Amino acid sequence: MPERPSRFDPASVRESWDFAADAYADGQASGNDHYRYAFFGPAQVHLCGEVAGTRVLDVGCGNGYFAREMARRGAKVTGIDISPRMIEHARRIEAAEPLGIDYEVLDAAGLAARFPAGAFDLVTSCVSIPDMPDVPAVLRGIQTVLRPGGRLVASITHPCTDTPVRAWETDEAGAKLSLKIDRYFERGPIEFTWKRNWPYVFKTAYWHVPLETWFDWILGAGFVLHALREPCPTEEGVAAHPDLADAARVPYFLMFDLIRP
């Protein structure tokens, strides 16, 4: 049964990600997150295309993973996150490896009040938007701060497989047979417990809504769909990192490439 969070508002999100931030930073620094480093991260970077010389805003930047990917490719990057502790980590990493990234603590629902209209060529968001309590307000704000013709390139966990009920069915030997999913059409926040590969256990909340609701939110904010991607690891990727095999069977991530008309 899905766990429902007792609260899902800016204060509760800030608190839970502040608590998670040290474990999240240590877990990323370990390099063991093959999903991020060998799969969905490179796929999202690829979808962004050429970014040298562009003004990029990374929304829900965490400790700066995707902001750094953009800055290393020559973009002028600003990263914002609601969690002060996440931004402390991002600034610590920036001090150790300067890439010219500006970080600030900000609720993404307040983008339009913070940045001038049309201030950015590209907005990115790496697996963060579902964690934001007011997704329609965030998307409208991103529209405002993008220049006309600018893009939002965002990744989310795939709503068709990241359902309230989800489990791999296995045979007696433990081999995965198929992914059991249920309650896809339920709309609402889910509380996720991060247990595996992290220095300590933490919980965060995120939206599960059906795909059609994502499109209602995206089109309702005024974006035009330029491309939709369901990344799949390559055979070589799975050979190098066998834990990626699950994601070569069913879609784990969904990426939107959206244009502000």
Ligand X SMILES: C[S@@+](CC[C@H](N)C(=O)[O-])C[C@H]1O[C@@H](n2cnc3c(N)ncnc32)[C@H](O)[C@@H]1O
Which residues contribute to the site for ligand X (CB under 6 A)? 10, 13, 17, 60-62, 65-66, 80-83, 86, 107-109, 126-128, 131-132
Nearer to ligand X, 253 or 261 (CB): 253
**Contact criterion met (CB below 8 Å) for 170 and 177:** yes
Nearer to ligand X, 138 or 218 (CB): 138
Among candidate residues 199, 198, 158, the one with its CA nearest the CA of residue 179: 158
Distances from the Cα of 25 to the Cα of 42, 88, 105, 145, 164, angstroms: 19, 10, 17, 28, 27
Q: Min. distance of Cβ 31 from ligand X in angstroms?
A: 14
- For Cα atoms 91, 18, 184, give the angle at the middle one, nearest 5 degrees: 115
Nearer to ligand X, 207 or 223 (CB): 207
**Contact criterion met (CB below 8 Å) for 48 and 74:** no
Q: Min. distance of Cβ 178 from ligand X in angstroms?
A: 27
Q: Min. distance of Cβ 234 from ligand X in angstroms?
A: 21
Q: Min. distance of Cβ 167 from ligand X in angstroms?
A: 21
Q: Min. distance of Cβ 80 from ligand X in angstroms?
A: 6
> Please, which residues bridge with residue 228 across strands?
256
Q: Min. distance of Cβ 6 from ligand X in angstroms?
A: 17
Nearer to ligand X, 70 or 126 (CB): 126
Q: Min. distance of Cβ 169 from ligand X in angstroms?
A: 27
- Give me the residue whose beta carbon is nearest to ligand X: 62
Q: Min. distance of Cβ 226 from ligand X in angstroms?
A: 21
Nearer to ligand X, 7 or 180 (CB): 7
Nearer to ligand X, 97 or 182 (CB): 97
Nearer to ligand X, 107 or 121 (CB): 107
Nearer to ligand X, 96 or 175 (CB): 96
Torsion sign (Cα): 159, 13, 91, 144: positive
